[in-house]
Structure 1
Amino acid sequence: MSQSKNRKQQFLTSNPVCCFCGGVSPSEEPDHVPSRAFFTNRQWPEGYEFPACVTCNRASRHDEQVVAMLSRLYPESSNSADSAAIEKLMVAVSRNYPEVMEEMLPTLRQKRNAAKKYKLELQPGQTHADLPLLSVRGPLVNSAIHSFSRKLFCALYYKHAGQVLKSSGGIAVLWFSNLQIDEDKIPRELGNVLSGFPKLERSRTNLDDQFFYRWAIADTKEVAVFLAFFRRSFAILGYVHQQADRFELPLGATIIRPFQAE
């Protein structure tokens, strides 16, 4: 047996059930969360492989392409590898999910409204049509974010709670664009709650500038909270509860269940 196959088998033996579908399926392969497409040169953080069945591993691949593309849009990188990666992702999304690309193109009215709402100043000679804005609040983009969030928070809960989010559990998801982050829309009180700071690196290279999160888990491990940032493009807030029917919903949150539990 090759060294890589041996490592894979050891991983699956140590993690015998899929962490994305309530533990109802045996694990069949490791899944990288977030996927390697989110990171420069595909160098993802060490220790962020999670046990998945084949169905769960494949379930969100197109949605992950969309979210990985969004994560790389801001700030614009001068790194040639990043520029090539975003171009590749845009081609992939255009091929696999062309409706998303169409949905993200804002109308002139939407640009004008955004400029007024977020107090964006036009540069000399610039019109509202020239503003480098995208529409990210459409149903398709939101669906992709929610699909990715299910996998992200099931994985992070498994990592830090040491157990699978059961089929009876759920995740309340809120997400924030870069403009909303700049407007300080993320609840400030979370700063006093989220005391966990992970170490995110590969080969001693810190990856916090690409992906970073804070977390907290109750002593009972029934409840957890995670706040994840993806470069400076957006952030996702996830409240995890082992009993979804006991949620006290944050305003505007969407409840997501583990795969096969909906």
Structure 2
Amino acid sequence: MGQAKQRSLKKTEIIQNAERCVYCDDPNPTTIEHMPPRGLFRNKDRPSGWEFACCSSCNQETRGSDAVAQLVAFVDPIDVIEPEKSWKLNAMVKVTGAVDAHAPGVLKELFNQQSWSNSLVRRRGLIHRVHASQASGIQTKFHLDRFSAKFGMASFRHFTGRELGMNGLIFTQWYLNAGLSQETFAAHLSILPGRHELAQGTKTSGEQFSVWFNTDKKNITAVLGTFHSNLFIQCICTDGEEFIDPLREALGPMVSAKFPTTNLVSASAPWASVSQRVRTALPNGGAGGLHEMRR
């Protein structure tokens, strides 16, 4: 189910229409948050939409998490086979500087060759050889958990028209490019009937960014976002009193070593992250990309 194209709003309109920062209780946001970031799009050519009022602190302090999300979203093992044709590979190389500066430790975790092992993965009907890697993943998880919480809160703002209350609950789970099976993806879509993408005139975000969603348009949203088909983020956000305790009871047990990419946090402390070891994998040949957990 698509949505109508929206006109591009000016910065002043976005800030004036907001009650507060999209991520915290600061009542005087002064910057604009783009979710997803412009850097996640080819040549930064991003359609309008999903632009939110944000305080300078939240905007600046989460730059590292945005960079990590861009890095993993650009990792496409299929493109790496022919690197000279891969714009994603070039973009991935460019963003490593931002990752190193604002998310120290992540590159070392993701590209630790000592833990590589050979593996096979099916992609687009073909079998490809990759290097499976057991990364320690503490910093990687922290930043992808944080980016996922940002995506969840931005999704709530978009689909309900208001910021998530500070009493709210945020459940997130992220998958990298081999971590979400077709069966699990289909199961998610069966309860997420709506589909949305950025659109500006004839330009759309297409496979670079799309969202499947379900919402009562009041106080609960469930979404699955895809970023270049290499990063997938599932979020459930609510501040409805009738939902908070049941969801905490149902989803809390999932935040464990068995499901290391899950997180459950309060909207008043959305950057909290439970550190767990994350299984990743890299394309055959080295530092071209990574694959996420085997289930």
Match among 258, 261, 264 for residue 255 of structure 1: 264
The CA deviation string for residues 10-30 of structure 1, in whole angstroms up to 9 with x for no partner, is: 321122421211x44322121
- Asked if structure 1 preserves the Cα contact closer than 8 Å seen for 2:115 and 2:134, the reply is no
Between the aligned partners of 2:158 and 2:84, the Cα distance in structure 1 is 33
Deviates more, 1:131-140 or 1:35-44: 131-140
Relative to structure 1, the CA distance from residue 79 to residue 121 in structure 2 (aligned partners, 3 Å threshold; closer, same or farther) is closer
Between the aligned partners of 1:192 and 1:85, the Cα distance in structure 2 is 33
Question: How many residues are treated as equivalent by the alignment?
Answer: 244
Between the aligned partners of 2:183 and 2:117, the Cα distance in structure 1 is 20
Between the aligned partners of 2:34 and 2:95, the Cα distance in structure 1 is 17
Match of 2:177 in 1: 178
Deviation at 1:33, TM superposition (A): 0.8
Relative to structure 1, the CA distance from residue 56 to residue 245 in structure 2 (aligned partners, 3 Å threshold; closer, same or farther) is farther
- Asked if structure 2 preserves the Cα contact closer than 8 Å seen for 1:222 and 1:241, the reply is yes
Structure 1 residue ranges without an equivalent (≥5):
1-5, 124-130
The structure with the greater share of residues assigned to strand is 2
Match among 26, 29, 33 for residue 27 of structure 1: 29
Deviation at 1:231, TM superposition (A): 0.9
- Asked if structure 2 preserves the Cα contact closer than 8 Å seen for 1:46 and 1:202, the reply is yes
Is it true that 1:88 corresponds to 2:128 in the alignment? no
Q: What is the CA RMSD across the aligned residues, in angstroms?
A: 2.9
Between the aligned partners of 2:64 and 2:179, the Cα distance in structure 1 is 25
Helix, strand or coil: the match of 1:111? strand
- Asked if structure 2 preserves the Cα contact closer than 8 Å seen for 1:176 and 1:186, the reply is no
- Asked if structure 1 preserves the Cα contact closer than 8 Å seen for 2:212 and 2:224, the reply is yes
Deviates more, 1:100-109 or 1:43-52: 100-109
Helix, strand or coil: the match of 2:210? strand
Relative to structure 1, the CA distance from residue 178 to residue 192 in structure 2 (aligned partners, 3 Å threshold; closer, same or farther) is same
- Asked if structure 1 preserves the Cα contact closer than 8 Å seen for 2:170 and 2:238, the reply is yes
Query: Normalising to structure 1: TM-score of the pair?
Result: 0.80
Match of 2:55 in 1: 53
Match among 15, 20, 27 for residue 17 of structure 1: 20
- Asked if structure 2 preserves the Cα contact closer than 8 Å seen for 1:174 and 1:236, the reply is yes
Structure 2 residue ranges without an equivalent (≥5):
1-8, 273-295
The CA deviation string for residues 23-61 of structure 1, in whole angstroms up to 9 with x for no partner, is: 443221211111111101112231111011111211211
Query: Normalising to structure 2: TM-score of the pair?
Result: 0.72
Alignment of 1:181-220 (within 5 A): 181=180, 183-184=181-182, 186=184, 188-218=186-216
Relative to structure 1, the CA distance from residue 52 to residue 96 in structure 2 (aligned partners, 3 Å threshold; closer, same or farther) is closer
The CA deviation string for residues 92-144 of structure 1, in whole angstroms up to 9 with x for no partner, is: 223333411111124455424xx27x589787xxxxxxx45555671211111
Relative to structure 1, the CA distance from residue 201 to residue 80 in structure 2 (aligned partners, 3 Å threshold; closer, same or farther) is farther
Between the aligned partners of 2:102 and 2:29, the Cα distance in structure 1 is 27
Deviation at 1:90, TM superposition (A): 1.4
